[in-house]
Chains A and B, each alone.
Chain A
Amino acid sequence: MQKIIFFSIIIFLTSACNTSQEKKVEASKTDQATTNSQDKKLVEQIFYNVPSPLEMAQMTRDAGMQFNSELTNPTEKKQYYIDQTTQALNLGVYGADLSYARIFDQVQEAVNFLAVIRELTESLQIPQDEETFALDKLEKHINNRDTLLHIITEIYSDMDIYLKENNRGIVAAMIITGGWIEGNYLALQSMNKEKPNEKVLRRVAEQKLSLASLIELIKPHVRTNHKSGQILADLEELYVIYEDVTIETKNSGIETDSGKGKTTIKGNTRVEIDQETLQSIQSFINDLRKDITNP
C-alpha cells in the first residue's frame, strides 16, 4: 500500500509540473522549508505573462506611426512552415500582424491574416471554433472594430487554454514568442532611424522587462537539441544586449480620482538607451524574425 501511495505522489508531482507553464520546484521547496522554516511562505505557482502584441501595435499608432503592409509577413509564406515549432512561431507572428492590421483599421488585411491563422491552427491540430473562424460572419461585420477585436482575443485565448490543457505548453510558448518578436519587429521597423520617435524608443527600451518575463515563461518548456532550445538561446543573447539599457523605477504612491473613478500608480522611471544599443537590438530582432519567417 505504501508503494501505491508513493507512486501516486510521484505521478501527481510529474503531472503538475508538465501541465503548467509555471515554475514549481518541489525539492528546493522541501530543502528550504526544513532549513529555514521562519522564512516567508513559499510560492506554489509562478506565472509569467508578456504584454499582448495588440498593446504594442496600439502604442505605435498612438505615437503617430503609419500602417505599412510591407512590414507584415506575407501570407503565402505559410506553405514553408512545416515543423510544429515553426508553425507555432509563425502563428504568433501572424497574430501580431493581425493585431497590427486591426489597430490601424486595415480590415481586409486582417481577414487575410485570419485565413492563414486558421490554416496554421489546422496544421497544428488545434481544434477550431467554427463560429469564431467563420469568415462570412467576419465579413458581415467588417466595419465593426469590436467584433474583430473580440475574434482576435477569442482565438488566441482559446488556443492557450487548449494547448495548456493538452500538455502542449511548448506550442503555446512558441506562439507567444513569435508574437513578441513580430510586435517588436513592427515597432522597430516603423521607427524613423535618423530621428526615432521618443515614445516608441522608450517602449523599445522597456522591452527589457517583458523579454525577461518571456525567457522565464518559455524556459520550462524548451528542449535542448530542439528548435525551441535555439530560440531560448537567441532570446538570452538578446537579453545580454538589453543589459546596456537602464530602467530605474520608483513608485511614490497611489492616487485616486474619485470623480473619474480612476486609480493611478504614481512614480518616476529613468530609461536610458544609447544609439549603439538600439542598433544592436534592431539588427538582432531583424535576424531573429528572418530566421523564423524564412525557415
Chain B
Amino acid sequence: MKNAIIIILTALLSFTLIGEAQGQCRKYTKKSCVPKLDPYIFNGQVNSALLNEGDIAELMLTFYADQEYRVLVCAEDQLGNVNFKLKDINDKVLFDNSKHEMASLWDFTSNTTQQIIVELEIPESDEAGEKLKNGCVAILVGFKETE
C-alpha cells in the first residue's frame, strides 16, 4: 500500500514537473524568440520542445514563391550553438548555419513554391561524464508583408 502511494506520488510529481517545464518552454519562446522575428510577421504557429543534447528536430513547411521569409532557431543558452539546415524534399542542403558562423536565423526568398525542411541538431557535450544538457528550442517562421 505504502509502495503504491509512493508510485502514484512520484508519477504525479513527474507529470507536474514535465508539464511545468513545457509551459516554461512556451513562455521562453514567446518572450525570447518571437521578438527576434521582427520586422517579419510571425506565422502564429509555435513549434517548441524540450530537447536533449544530440537530439534532432525537424519542421516542414510550404514556402511560397517570391515571399520573403525569416527562419529562426532559438535555443536556451545552456544548449550551446545549435546547428540547423534547410533542405528541399530531395534532401539537397540549401542553407547550413555552420557555414555562416552558426547564425541563429536566415532570411531568404524562394523563386518557386516548395516544401522545405528545417532540421536542427543539438550539439553533444565534448567532455565525458558531463551531465546531459537539455533545454528549450523553438523553430519559428516569419514572412514579410508586400506593399
Question: Chain A: residues with CB nearer than 8 A to chain B?
Answer: 3-4, 7-8, 11-12, 15-16, 19-20, 22, 41-52, 54-55, 58-59, 62, 149, 153, 156-158, 160-161, 164-165, 176, 202-203, 206, 209-210, 212-213, 216, 247, 249, 251, 254, 262-269, 271
Contacts and interface: CB of A to CB of B under 8 A. Distances in A.
Nearest to B50: A16
Given A16-B18, A52-B44, 6 more contacts: A11-B11, A55-B143, A203-B64, A265-B108, A265-B109, A268-B112
B64 A47 contact: no
Contacts of B3: 3
Given A7-B7, A11-B11, A49-B59, A251 B46 contact: no
Interface of B: 3, 6-7, 10-11, 14-15, 18-19, 22-23, 26-27, 29-30, 34, 41-47, 49, 51, 54-65, 67, 88-90, 92, 94-95, 106-115, 119, 121, 139, 141, 143, 145-146
A261 to B, nearest CB: 8
Nearest to A24: B49
A49 B63 CA distance: 10
B62 A210 contact: yes
B62 to A, nearest CB: 4
Given A15-B18, A149-B41, A47 B11 contact: no
Contacts of B29: 161
A251 B92 contact: yes
Given A263-B106, A265-B108, A206 B49 contact: no
Contacts, number: 178
Contacts of B95: 254
Task: Identify the 3 closest CB pairs spanning chains A and B, nearest first.
Answer: A269-B112, A47-B47, A156-B44
A141 to B, nearest CB: 17
A195 B141 CA distance: 34
A2 to B, nearest CB: 11
8 contacts: A41-B56, A44-B51, A45-B51, A50-B61, A58-B145, A59-B64, A165-B26, A203-B64
Nearest to B137: A45
A263 B64 CA distance: 15
Contact of A15 (B19, B43, B47, B111): B19
Given A4-B6, A8-B10, A47-B59, A157 B34 contact: yes
Contacts of A156: 44
A265 to B, nearest CB: 4
A8 B94 CA distance: 41
A55 B30 CA distance: 22
A164 B46 contact: yes
A12 B15 CA distance: 7
